[in-house]
Amino acid sequence: MILIPSVRRSARGRDKESMANRKFHKKQRFTPDPSYVPPYDAAILQLGLDHLKISDAVREKLLGAGVTTVMDVVVREDKDFYRISGFDKKNLGELKSALNNRRLRLKPPKPADEKPKTESEKNGSGERADKPAVKNDRAEKKEGDRRRDKFVKPERTGERENAPERRDRFGADKGKEVSDDRSKNRDRKDNRSDKKKKNQRILNPDGVSEKRTKEEREKHRPRRPKVEHPSDIYIKINKNNKWGFATRDGKEVITPEYDDVFTFKEDLCCVEKDETFGFIDRSGNLVVPIAYECASSFSEGYACVFKGGVCGYIDKTGETVIPFKYDAGTAVIDGECRVKKAGKWGELHISDPENVRWIN
């Protein structure tokens, strides 16, 4: 008996061979689209990455790719950030959240190109280009006779003239059931034909136009009534990375001195300074002290604010109406709001805050 030693490559040898055969592809360098102009103030676009308040890890990755200003960020799409070394989905989510807090957005993706026309659409008739020529009249007549003969129902012989009506075991007329079924089938066919007419494609001289078809369908699609939100008499202004307000004709009414400002609701505006929140009136006077960790705008005379990691509700004088003991809260609508505590949401009425109806 002769033993032949087996030749086996080690795992390390296979790894070296696979690494030798592997091809490395260099990522393409990002070049901004010259036709895209971000719809934001030029002063904001020239600010550095510190304006976005992102983590140090994300800022270092962006700086390593040459992204130093807000302009460099908003001219990119989502897919462009994945070209940056080490930039993942979690980093992109943090960046988009920081942009959203500053009322900014990334560049919208380009619309997909229209589907290329097929050979049949180029002919303009929607039919196949290789369709054979039309038959002559005699051949077409013969073919029509054969089809008609095929589907003509043969006459019944020996049919009983005065046969009793057929009934099933429950005593119902089978003829009536058949007629009902036929009427139902006819209704289904009518519904299908109506649906087909509704969704039919529109023909143009150059073939089937998908764009025009979509436009016609959009015209007949029911629309919801447009809700018009009244515009405020003040607009936000930014100077030296600080926010304030001016009238619509450009006259400054509130000096830009806040890190961020909301819009005026019920003649009060929530402002942020040094990562704390408070409220001012239309003259710029501080009505509610800047002492809260987070706050929302007033609604029906109440605002949800956070202090010590929990939230409560205050009135326009800054007095506590609902104590600080909830994990989250919503705006007051029709005298009630939603509050969260220990993972459960409940309904709270301002007139009776002690009795909360917990939902789950």
* pLDDT tier, 1 (very low <50, low <70, confident <90, very high otherwise): very low
Judged against a pLDDT cut of 80, whether residue 131 lies above it is answered with: no
Judged against a pLDDT cut of 60, whether residue 298 lies above it is answered with: yes
pLDDT in the model for residue 199: 59
User: Is there a domain that residue 204 lies in?
Assistant: no
Q: Specify the pTM.
A: 0.40
Question: How far is the C-alpha of 217 from the C-alpha of 191, rounded, in Å?
Answer: 18
User: Is there a domain that residue 309 lies in?
Assistant: yes
User: Is there a domain that residue 174 lies in?
Assistant: no
Question: How far is the C-alpha of 150 from the C-alpha of 357, rounded, in Å?
Answer: 74
Q: Which is more confident, 169 or 57?
A: 57
CB-based burial, 93-115: b 16+ in 10 Å, e otherwise: eebbebbeeeebebbeeeeeeee
Give Cα separations from 260 to 43, 107, 120 (angstroms): 15, 23, 59
β-bridge partners, 346: 339, 358
Point out the domain boundary residue: 70, 85, 101: 101
| Most confident by average pLDDT, 130-144, 192-206, 287-301 | 287-301
Cα dihedral 297, 300, 306, 307 in deg (nearest 10): 120
pLDDT in the model for residue 214: 78
Question: How far is the C-alpha of 95 from the C-alpha of 78, rounded, in Å?
Answer: 10
- Considering just the CA atoms, what is the radius of gyration of the chain in Å? 36
Q: Which is more confident, 190 or 246?
A: 246
pLDDT in the model for residue 34: 83
pLDDT in the model for residue 320: 93
171-215 pLDDT, tens digit per residue, is 445 555 556 677 777 777 777 766 666 656 555 555 556 777 778
pLDDT in the model for residue 119: 52
Residue with the two structure tokens 């993706």: 109
* pLDDT tier, 292 (very low <50, low <70, confident <90, very high otherwise): very high
User: Is there a domain that residue 315 lies in?
Assistant: yes
Residue 237 Cα to chain centre, angstroms: 29
Q: Mean pLDDT, the chain, as a whole number? A: 77
User: Is there a domain that residue 219 lies in?
Assistant: no
User: Is there a domain that residue 155 lies in?
Assistant: no
User: Is there a domain that residue 335 lies in?
Assistant: yes
User: Is there a domain that residue 334 lies in?
Assistant: yes
210-244 pLDDT, tens digit per residue, is 777 778 778 877 777 776 666 889 999 999 999 99
Point out the domain boundary residue: 53, 72, 101: 101
Number of compact structural domains in the chain: 2
pLDDT in the model for residue 329: 95
Instruction: Find out whether 249 and 255 touch, Cβ atoms under 8 Å.
Output: no
Give Cα separations from 267 to 232, 251, 263, 290, 298 (angstroms): 10, 18, 9, 17, 9
pLDDT in the model for residue 154: 53
Give residue 348's domain range.
259-358
Point out the domain boundary residue: 101, 116, 136: 101
Instruction: Find out whether 108 and 57 touch, Cβ atoms under 8 Å.
Output: no
316-358 pLDDT, tens digit per residue, is 999 999 999 999 999 999 999 999 999 999 999 999 988 999 9
pLDDT in the model for residue 175: 54
pLDDT in the model for residue 163: 47
- CATH number of the structural domain spanning residue 87: 1.10.150.20
24-49 pLDDT, tens digit per residue, is 444 567 788 888 888 888 888 888 88
E strands, the chain, are: 203-204, 207-208, 234-239, 242-247, 252-258, 260-261, 269-273, 276-280, 286-292, 294-295, 303-307, 310-314, 320-326, 328-329, 336-341, 344-349, 352-358
Question: How far is the C-alpha of 341 from the C-alpha of 353, rounded, in Å?
Answer: 14
Instruction: Find out whether 242 and 233 touch, Cβ atoms under 8 Å.
Output: no
